[in-house]
Amino acid sequence: MKKAIGDNMIPPGWSFEQGLELIKKAGYDGVELWLGDVPWFQMSTTDEQVIELRRKVENAGLVVSNVSTGLHWRAPLSARDPKVRAQAMRIVERQLETAQLLKTDAILVVAGLVTEEVPYNEVYTRCVDALQQLGDQAEKTGVKIGCENCNSEQRFLLSPREFQTFLQDVNKPYVGLHLDVGNIHDTGFAEQWIEIHGPHITRIHLKDVKKHRGRCGEESVYTNLFLGNNNWPAIRAALHKVGYDGWLVAEMEDRYRFAQDQQFYDTAAAIDRLIAGRL
């Protein structure tokens, strides 16, 4: 397995080049690029500028692991407004285009967002429709769409079987699961998601989660690897069982307050131990 970390982790005020140097120095093989979340990679970034980003990544001795985005939280594929949905489709299309330019074969999509206003059945139907269209485009580009499980935040596709049914309804070979092992919280166990989805996993986000925290035990909070409640030996065993040999991408939502570069080293070391089974 190879390890990567997102460019959205690069400390504020650092340039892209400085960030890449840090990522390489910390021992990662690749970098996940976040469309719309960092100043150097926006929807307005031209093809030439994207190719320039790739050159910088290669010059640093890295490769691009995948293209992610947080833009779908504001413009979801499940929006009621057709104009917002069109915008969401365009974001995915741009991800596919830039993934090709960056010579990677996977993107991350937050597929739908259930809210008080937009109920589950609507979100489900719209996401299936959208991903059927996008799945065809993905196949043409040779880039896989990984729908991320954002169980708690999306309030959508909460169990692995539910997610499996969803992917079966979409029924496109280039649409799979971008599994975040930290996002499952109290709705299940990451290792079971891995077992059920096996070959349909496009990429894996790594982070840990502390369950039942807060004064009343009402909150789950994200944390660094090995600090939370994820059963890492079981996760590793499940990855071995299904033969996953792809990217492990660190997504540390809880950032170091000081010495932010240290988090890159600590996380890389933790991933190394996970891969090696020294747990």
Rule CB under 8 A: which residues touch another protein? 80-83, 116-119, 121-122, 124-126
Our CB check for another protein shows the closer of 42 and 125 to be 125
Rounded distance, CA 197 to CA 204, Å? Answer: 12
Write down the least CB distance from residue 123 to another protein, Å: 9
CB 99 within 8 A of CB 47: no
Q: To 5 degrees, how large is the angle CA 25–CA 36–CA 159?
A: 90
Rounded distance, CA 81 to CA 23, Å? Answer: 40
Our CB check for another protein shows the closer of 55 and 83 to be 83
Our CB check for another protein shows the closer of 44 and 121 to be 121
Write down the least CB distance from residue 35 to another protein, Å: 26
Strand spans (E) along 83-135: 106-109
Our CB check for another protein shows the closer of 124 and 174 to be 124
Task: Tally the C-alpha atoms within 13 A of residue 225's C-alpha that lie toward its C-beta.
Answer: 26
Write down the least CB distance from residue 24 to another protein, Å: 45
Our CB check for another protein shows the closer of 119 and 214 to be 119
Name 158's Cβ contacts closer than 8 Å, sequence gap at least 6.
151, 187, 188
Write down the least CB distance from residue 75 to another protein, Å: 15
CA dihedral 75, 77, 78, 83 (to 10 degrees): 60
Our CB check for another protein shows the closer of 34 and 124 to be 124
Write down the least CB distance from residue 62 to another protein, Å: 42
- For 84, the token pair is 């917002």
Of 124, 100, 4, 106, nearest to 50 by C-alpha is: 100
Distances (CA, A) of 61 to 7, 22, 58, 255: 15, 11, 5, 25
Write down the least CB distance from residue 125 to another protein, Å: 5
Name 81's Cβ contacts closer than 8 Å, sequence gap at least 6.
none
Our CB check for another protein shows the closer of 67 and 79 to be 79
Write down the least CB distance from residue 136 to another protein, Å: 18
